Structure 1
Amino acid sequence: MFLVVALVAGLITWLVIALGSSRTEALAPLNRPTQAASSYSLFSPASGTQAEDFSQKSQAITQLFDDAQGEFTASVVDVPSGETVFSRNGETAGVPASSLKTLTVAAALQTFDSTHRFATTTLLGADGTVYLRGGGDVLLGSGENSTAVSGRAGLASLAKLTATALKNDDAAPASVKIVLDDSLFTGDALLPVWDSSLMTSGNISAVQPIAMWGARSSSAEKAGRVSDPALTAAQAFEKALVAALDGSGISVTASGSGDSGGISRGTTAAEAKELAKVEGATVAEVVEFMGEESDNYVAEALGRLVALQSGKPGTFEGGTAAILEKIGEIGVSTEGVTMVDASGLSAENRVSPAQLTGVLSAASRSSKAVLRDVPYAFPIAGLSGTLDARLTDSSVAGVVRAKTGTLTGVTTLTGTLVDESGRQLVFSFFASDVDSLTDARAVLDAAVAELI
């Protein structure tokens, strides 16, 4: 069996190297489960056999945590049986950092069809206003790219389609003005409890329903985030529309003034008629992109979209309430969870390692095929995303998928693997009150290696 696992790991490695990856490329599906989850019993009683077999690994992990500086909590679950095979205060809620995105991933896949796409639309009002209406795609690009996740739908493409519709309309006005409709999301655009350094460091920006490249200034992976993502997108659209209408006899005039670049904000008029629309990558692709890159902006947008789809307001509060509601639907208790954002940026978030492994275990054994993809939204050890430079040893590289998390004094690791006997395990390790994040990460990585 170990030979089979090694061969699978080698195949994964070959695929990733052969296909390559970048921040904007669509991510290749890797070893998605095809077996129906009904072959597992979600409520099968724990026999104790798996825990007994796990004793040596438990001792090794316990020793690692005992010898390390800081506080360590953990939960490990055997997926086929649903049995907890290791727990170190696993029921104790702690600060999850970006491991919280596990809940956001699961909630998004529980809420939307995996092929659903968020649209960005232009509509023409009776007064010659072209409304640019954000529909939740925050990974727009400057031009369409059919192979990308970030940049799948492009504002230049939308402008060309809009220009064509205007030119083909005999009743089109000789002059149009652009009004940005970013009213889909409401409430605070920035969470008041977020430290201001999170904005200046580029970890997050104002959460709005239309943005380019996850609110970044370009498609470059480390590009900084813009302060007003929706307006930046509208300005890019305006520039493209002017170019697309050149020579048509239809001009674009200002609807705003000052720093807006001639664009005002407003709500789309009820009588406005659709001119054109572009659709982004699928929900499944967006979720995987978010997990691979640990993109906070995309996570927050998904939280609000889950809220709106669930009949709740598109706010921080609506998003977290909807996410927890969806986690309950999956069959995991959210008692004791404090969730103030969808990304894990706030140190006020609280969830236990056992609740995170509960989500991964339930998702992995779900009868709903898309939920079985939850662990596959995470980076591959030693190969991709935030794990590309971690867990690089041949025994773990390509075998582990996990979500990383980091805040001041906190580091976490939550994910899934197949051990040498061929069984799937899910795990969640929290380290808090640590003096050295580097040292603590090394301890968590060593603990994961012990699970193989």
Structure 2
Amino acid sequence: MKRSRRRLPLVVAGTCLAVLLGYAALDAGGIVPGVLTTSPLPPPAPTATPGTRTLPVVPQPTPSTSVGMPLSPLSGAGSAPSAAGVRKKLDPVLALPALADASFVVRDGQTGTVLLDEHGARPRVPASTTKLLSAAAIGQVFGPGEVLTTRVVRGASAGSVVLVAGGDSLLAPGRGRPAAVAGHAGLADLADQVAKALRTAGTERVTVSVDLGYAAGPLVAPTWSPSFRPDGVTGAVAMLGRSDQRALPGRPGPADPVESTLDAFVARLDETGVAARKAASPRTSAPADAPVLGSVRSAPVLDQLALALTESDNALTEILARQAAYRAAAGTSFADVGAWVVARVAELGVPVTGASLRDASGLSRQNRVTALLLTDLLAKAYDGRHLSLARAFEGLPVAGLSGTLADRYRSGAGHDAAGRARAKTGTLTGVDALAGNVVDDDGHLLVYAGLVAEAPAEQARAGLDRFVGTLAACGCR
């Protein structure tokens, strides 16, 4: 995997620029040391709306915008970390009691060279770091700008219409918000279009059904704890849903998102003056080539994927992965989708020995992944030849700033990584994981993965944060 440092991929430059801007944001807020500090005000909470993101969106550089090609390296050849240097710095961290049963791998992010391998080939429960594999697979199916369409068509009988699910689980119950990811398309906007078409045709009363033929599958996985959905750990996995009903811990979503979305649409249509009611048996199949009465389009799928990674949204990840598998003519059960994800990752040239997935989100305790696989996948995202991977990983949380890392790295042993580490977290009872990248003190990109088992959550998380903080301050030559 070694490549000339004088041909450092453009994607690495873009990644490091984003990380450095993140550090600058923390510096200006007084969270990390630096010359930009102005006040100790904390950043606002991250949102699902690109227009109000708390982090800058940094586009990948292109030949037309770059200063020249090839780009000069991030750091001088003499500053490249060595395996011996990494081992020396990390040995005290790896000796922590909380990390006694763990796997760790560190790679040079610019060459892919393995600098540390501590049980890296041992298959372990990956928890939500599973989403890295799923994102890689989803990113191979959906291109930039591709969206999901929710339609309403004429039904088989007079005075009937059918709401056709198209995979958008983030529909606003009222008006859509064009700047938003969650709530981009709105049921009220869809109802307005349908009402106009019905009035033009002289139809004043309708019954409404729903077609769920697209990417159909079970709502919850058989390998999940029965408490996950009622506790809000995940929502039900359906190809139609509302942005205001996304599941959150302690605030579960509906057991049947389709039913509540259909009810909301019927109510919006009725508010337009068209007398609308839900069909007695609302599940149906839309007639082939039925006239379209209205349609709304979601935010781009890759923006939804970024949101799923940032917030570790289990249901949204499963929904997008199921659609990707369906479009690739694979099965749509949770196990089928998991197997398809592993197969698509293998097509990227990543060794998947020991990998087995029973879902796409990481909630299944039957999932197995290695730290070597995770770092190999991450390294490929920055090699300049796998832009779909780079796009898929754009939603990785930033240490101390966004998503599931917003409240980590602001103090303590991992503080050196604040603003310049990005990672996917993973947590199940008895399992803690972290996989991502960081720019070290010498300006060198490192990728890493840590999978910890059988340790108290607080101590395991502190150990993982110290691991990443040590890498950030390392140099490790």
Range class of TM-score, shorter chain: 0.7 to 0.9
Deviation at 1:10, TM superposition (A): 3.8
Q: Which of 343, 346, 349 in structure 2 is aligned with 1:331? A: 349
Matched residue type, 2:426: G
User: Which residue in 2 is equivalent to 1:356?
Assistant: 374
2:158 paired with 1:131 = no
The separation in 1 between residues aligned to 2:400 and 2:95, in whole angstroms, is: 26
User: Which residue in 2 is equivalent to 1:407?
Assistant: 428
User: Which residue in 2 is equivalent to 1:160?
Assistant: 192
2:238 paired with 1:208 = yes
The 5-angstrom pairing of residues 365-380 of structure 1 reads 365-380=383-398
User: Which residue in 2 is equivalent to 1:91?
Assistant: 121
SS at match of 1:281: coil
SS at match of 1:197: coil
SS at match of 2:381: helix
The separation in 2 between residues aligned to 1:103 and 1:211, in whole angstroms, is: 24
SS at match of 1:64: helix
Matched residue type, 1:412: A
User: Which residue in 2 is equivalent to 1:59?
Assistant: 88
The 5-angstrom pairing of residues 220-235 of structure 1 reads 223-235=251-263
2:145 paired with 1:115 = yes
SS at match of 2:95: helix
The separation in 2 between residues aligned to 1:322 and 1:85, in whole angstroms, is: 30
SS at match of 1:438: helix
Deviation at 1:331, TM superposition (A): 1.5
The separation in 1 between residues aligned to 2:434 and 2:116, in whole angstroms, is: 15
User: Which residue in 2 is equivalent to 1:259?
Assistant: none
Deviation at 1:327, TM superposition (A): 0.8
The separation in 1 between residues aligned to 2:377 and 2:292, in whole angstroms, is: 40
Q: Is the 8 A contact 1:215 1:297 kept in 2?
A: no
Matched residue type, 2:200: N
Against the structure 1 CA distance between its residues 287 and 5, is the aligned structure 2 distance closer, same or farther, given a 3 Å change threshold?
closer
User: Which residue in 1 is equivalent to 2:454?
Assistant: 433
The separation in 1 between residues aligned to 2:436 and 2:171, in whole angstroms, is: 29
The separation in 2 between residues aligned to 1:285 and 1:124, in whole angstroms, is: 31
2:451 paired with 1:451 = no
Against the structure 1 CA distance between its residues 425 and 108, is the aligned structure 2 distance closer, same or farther, given a 3 Å change threshold?
same
The 5-angstrom pairing of residues 232-243 of structure 1 reads 232-243=260-271
Q: Which of 30, 34, 42 in structure 1 is aligned with 2:61? A: 34
SS at match of 2:394: helix
Matched residue type, 1:85: L
Deviation at 1:222, TM superposition (A): 6.7
User: Which residue in 2 is equivalent to 1:381?
Assistant: 399
The separation in 1 between residues aligned to 2:371 and 2:131, in whole angstroms, is: 13
Residue ranges of structure 1 left out of the alignment (5+ in a row) = 41-46, 257-262
Matched residue type, 2:95: D
Against the structure 1 CA distance between its residues 197 and 126, is the aligned structure 2 distance closer, same or farther, given a 3 Å change threshold?
closer
Aligned residues: 428
Deviation at 1:168, TM superposition (A): 2.2
The separation in 2 between residues aligned to 1:115 and 1:324, in whole angstroms, is: 25
Deviations 1:246-288 (A, max 9, x none): 1xxx4223412xxxxxx61111121421111111111221111
Deviations 1:72-118 (A, max 9, x none): 11111112111011111111110000011001111111211021011
User: Which residue in 2 is equivalent to 1:44?
Assistant: none
Matched residue type, 1:400: A
Deviation at 1:416, TM superposition (A): 1.0
The separation in 1 between residues aligned to 2:193 and 2:18, in whole angstroms, is: 49
SS at match of 1:121: strand
SS at match of 1:276: strand
Deviation at 1:336, TM superposition (A): 1.6
Deviations 1:341-397 (A, max 9, x none): 000001100000110111111122142433223442211100111101101245221
Deviation at 1:403, TM superposition (A): 0.6
The 5-angstrom pairing of residues 9-24 of structure 1 reads 9-13=22-26, 20-24=44-48
Against the structure 1 CA distance between its residues 6 and 348, is the aligned structure 2 distance closer, same or farther, given a 3 Å change threshold?
closer
Identity among equivalent positions (%) equals: 29
Deviations 1:107-161 (A, max 9, x none): 1112110210111111112412211111111111112011211111111111111
Residue ranges of structure 2 left out of the alignment (5+ in a row) = 1-16, 30-40, 64-68, 72-76, 473-477
Matched residue type, 2:228: L
Q: Is the 8 A contact 1:23 1:150 kept in 2?
A: no
Q: Is the 8 A contact 2:19 2:439 kept in 1?
A: no
Against the structure 1 CA distance between its residues 281 and 192, is the aligned structure 2 distance closer, same or farther, given a 3 Å change threshold?
same
Q: Which of 295, 299, 304 in structure 2 is aligned with 1:277? A: 295
The separation in 1 between residues aligned to 2:19 and 2:378, in whole angstroms, is: 23
SS at match of 2:107: strand
Q: Is the 8 A contact 1:307 1:321 kept in 2?
A: no
Q: Is the 8 A contact 1:12 1:30 kept in 2?
A: no
SS at match of 2:206: strand
Q: Which of 111, 114, 123 in structure 2 is aligned with 1:81? A: 111
Deviation at 1:213, TM superposition (A): 2.0
SS at match of 1:377: coil
Deviations 1:295-352 (A, max 9, x none): 0010100110110121123332332232222212222122221100000001100000
The 5-angstrom pairing of residues 225-304 of structure 1 reads 225-244=253-272, 246=273, 250-256=274-280, 264-304=282-322
The separation in 2 between residues aligned to 1:445 and 1:285, in whole angstroms, is: 27
Against the structure 1 CA distance between its residues 280 and 222, is the aligned structure 2 distance closer, same or farther, given a 3 Å change threshold?
farther
The separation in 1 between residues aligned to 2:44 and 2:216, in whole angstroms, is: 38
Deviation at 1:409, TM superposition (A): 0.4
